[in-house]
């Protein structure tokens, strides 16, 4: 009678068969080599998860030692925002002889939870989670395992979670105040995902700045976006189609501001002569847009660097759990904002 394999019997050959790839490809994924296509890496990691291969990977560490691998969970790696954060992460890992195991979720909550649980069972020593949609779905399991993790650009469920964020409320306040001080009174707002604290804080900063300057908050000037370029384009169209359109728009990130800029051009509006525009993040392209974008700079490289160092310190000394950190934002005044037309 054939012997039924247990989890400890499963080999990379089984994973390769399950994923439909060669065993050498599985080996490259297990050892986090860079020359594997992202879609192939994802197929292999999903096969590992289905087969329970993560239990075998614990043997990569010496007894009482570490794998010297950090898990990195992101929605995607195709944005300049993520590139800047990853630059900071890589700076620190390179100096500590650690490698990164990357997982992309494409903002699917079920993927987030599955990948987190897989890494926490032995694939990595710790976990960095960038802009998670709903971390409460898996934070409890990380806590139960005493597994080190740091959230980047998103706060956790409560004070027990460790995070590195920017001052999103203050940034939203400063962006809106800048437009008010230029003379704008009807200021449109394109938000990010509203289940993310960073998006809500930027919106609350916008509202607070209006209220502090005696300007009523008009709900029709607030359009829900999702941090993607197309939602900036669509949000700008919604705002311009109002009976009384805004004279300025504040987008919750630079990518949506790019989308808004394209829509303004299609409507034959000049920025900032006809309408002012402010973004958030200060990704590299913001400085070379036409016109260069006024934006709120959050220190993305430093966020990645600091979060990684905090995580490695926590792994090194599990009794010394780090405290969360909020980094300041800075208004970068360029050429996309000016006085409103009289």
The 10s digit of each residue's pLDDT in 263-311 is 999 999 999 999 999 999 999 999 999 999 999 999 999 999 999 999 9
pLDDT for the residue numbered 75: 81
Q: Between β-strands 187-190 and 276-281, what pairing exists: parallel, antiparallel or unpaired?
A: unpaired
Share of the chain above pLDDT 90, in %: 58
Per domain, the residue ranges of the chain are: 168-298
Contact 133, 112 (CB under 8 A): yes
Q: Is the pLDDT of residue 212 over 50?
A: yes
**How many Å apart are CA 80 and CA 197, to the nearest integer?**
21
pLDDT for the residue numbered 57: 47
pLDDT for the residue numbered 319: 85
Contact 298, 166 (CB under 8 A): yes
Query: Cis peptide leading into 272, omega within 30 of 0?
Result: yes
- Length, in residues, of the chain: 342
Candidates 336, 306, 2; CA nearest to 163 is 306
State residue 317 phi and psi, 5-degree precision.
Answer: -135, 85
Q: What is the mean pLDDT of the segment spanning 320-342?
A: 94
Q: Is the pLDDT of residue 7 over 60?
A: no
Q: Is the pLDDT of residue 8 over 50?
A: no
Q: Is the pLDDT of residue 63 over 50?
A: no
Task: Note the helical H segments in 8-157.
Answer: 12-19, 23-30, 38-51, 54-57, 80-95, 109-118, 136-144
**How many Å apart are CA 268 and CA 338, to the nearest integer?**
18
Alpha carbon 259 to its chain centroid, in Å, reads: 19
Contact 98, 69 (CB under 8 A): yes
Which CATH code is given to the segment(s) 168-298?
3.40.50.2300
pLDDT for the residue numbered 9: 57
Q: Between β-strands 330-332 and 294-297, what pairing exists: parallel, antiparallel or unpaired?
A: antiparallel
The 10s digit of each residue's pLDDT in 85-132 is 999 999 999 899 888 888 887 655 566 677 777 777 667 889 999 977
Candidates 37, 41, 36, 39; CA nearest to 15 is 41
């Amino acid at each position: 009678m054939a012997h039924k394999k247990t989890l400890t019997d499963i080999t990379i050959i089984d994973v390769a068969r399950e994923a439909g790839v060669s065993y050498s490809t599985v080996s490259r994924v297990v050892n986090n080599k860079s020359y594997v296509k992202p879609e192939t890496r994802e197929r292999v990691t999903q096969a590992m998860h289905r087969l329970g291969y993560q239990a075998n990977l614990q043997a990569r560490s010496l007894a009482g030692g570490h794998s010297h691998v950090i898990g990195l969970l992101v929605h995607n790696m195709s944005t300049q925002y993520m590139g800047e954060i990853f630059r900071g992460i890589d700076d620190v890992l390179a100096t500590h002889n650690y490698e990164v195991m990357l997982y992309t979720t494409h903002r699917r909550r079920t993927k987030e939870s599955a990948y987190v649980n897989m890494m926490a069972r032995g694939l990595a020593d710790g976990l960095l989670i960038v802009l998670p949609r709903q971390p409460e779905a898996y934070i409890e399991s990380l806590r139960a395992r005493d597994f080190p993790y740091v959230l980047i650009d998103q706060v956790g469920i409560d004070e027990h979670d460790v995070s590195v964020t920017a001052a999103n409320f203050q940034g939203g306040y400063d962006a809106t105040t800048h437009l008010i001080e230029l003379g704008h009174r009807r200021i449109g707002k394109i938000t990010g995902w509203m289940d993310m604290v960073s998006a809500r804080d930027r919106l609350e900063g916008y509202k607070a700045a209006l209220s502090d300057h005696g300007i009523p908050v008009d709900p029709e000037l607030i359009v829900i976006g999702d941090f993607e370029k197309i939602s900036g384009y669509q949000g700008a169209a919604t705002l311009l189609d109002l009976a009384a359109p805004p004279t300025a728009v504040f987008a919750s990130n630079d990518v949506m501001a790019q989308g808004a800029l394209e829509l303004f051009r299609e409507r034959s509006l000049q920025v900032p002569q006809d309408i002012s525009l402010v973004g958030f993040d200060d990704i590299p392209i913001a400085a070379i847009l036409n016109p260069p974008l006024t934006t709120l700079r959050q220190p993305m490289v430093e966020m990645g660097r600091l979060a990684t160092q905090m995580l490695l310190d926590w792994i090194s000394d599990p009794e010394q759990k780090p405290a969360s950190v909020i980094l300041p934002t800075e208004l970068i005044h360029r050429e996309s904002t000016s006085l409103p037309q009289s």
